[in-house]
Amino acid sequence: MANLMTLSRLVLLLLVVWIAYLPTSAWQYANFVLIIIIFVTDGLDGYIARKRNEETLFGALFDIAGDRIVELTLWIIFADLGLIPIWVPLIFVIRGTVVDTIRSSASQSAGDSPFAMMQTPLGKWLVAGKFMRIFYAVIKAAAFCTLALVLPSSEAIPQIWEVIGIYFSWLALFFVYLSVFLCLARGMPVVAEFVNTQKPAFTPGKKPKAE
């Protein structure tokens, strides 16, 4: 059931992409609602998995993959439409590739949830902590929703948009850049802890002690 909900998010994402590239009109306000539904179901699939005792390693990895597909697709679309700089999706692509590779490797070797690999208090709070995961999702959803409203507003409400457009665009960019900051801040502990686990058991240049 939880995996089906993750799959449904990807179907809704395809609808968002299609609407985004339609000729600019008020119909594109539908993407605001669809993006909210996508992010709400992202939280529901984990809740359903726990309630139905369906938590599995595959489900956790599928959920992460679904999250990546959703966010990277949306960042790329908004960059292609000229609403955000191209370096924004590039940061998310690079960070996501590095972090997910580390998580997948750790999950396969330990057979545990990708979030369970965090060991330090800071890493657990930033990456695996419930508050930070929800806060990060809310900020990304706010960025995507405000960007989705920018697309049709210049055509649907031109007179109002002349007055509020620049301020609303600044608000959208605030959420975008805060998302970038949180993306990097939550990725660094994963990389740092992984590098720390790969350190050799003895100092380079020194011979290991004889048994």
Q: pLDDT-based confidence at 109, cuts 50/70/90? A: low
d(CA 205, CA 5): 53
Which domains occur in the chain, in start order? 2-196 (1.20.120)
Q: What is the pLDDT of residue 113?
A: 52
Q: What is the pLDDT of residue 145?
A: 95
Q: What is the pLDDT of residue 201?
A: 46
Q: pLDDT-based confidence at 202, cuts 50/70/90? A: very low
Q: pLDDT-based confidence at 8, cuts 50/70/90? A: confident
Average pLDDT in the chain? 82
The pTM score is 0.81
Q: What mean pLDDT comes out for the span 120-131?
A: 78
pLDDT at 206 over 60: no
**Between 69 and 6, where is the model more confident?**
69
Q: What is the pLDDT of residue 107?
A: 55
Model confidence pLDDT, tens digit, residues 126-153:
877 888 888 999 999 999 999 999 988 8
Q: What is the pLDDT of residue 6?
A: 76
Q: How far is CA 60 from CA 12, 25, 39, in A?
A: 20, 38, 16
Three-state helix/strand/coil letters over the chain = CHHHHHHHHHHHHHHHHHHHCCCCCHHHHHHHHHHHHHHHHHHHHHHHHHHCCCCCHHHHHHHHHHHHHHHHHHHHHHHHCCCCCCHHHHHHHHHHHHHHHHHHHHHHHHCCCHHHHCCCHHHHHHHHCHHHHHHHHHHHHHHHHHHHHHHHHHHHCHHHHHHHHHHHHHHHHHHHHHHHHHHHHHHHHHHHHHHHHCCCCCCCCCCCCCC
Model confidence pLDDT, tens digit, residues 168-183:
999 999 999 999 999 9
Which residue in this structure is represented by tokens 């970038």? 180
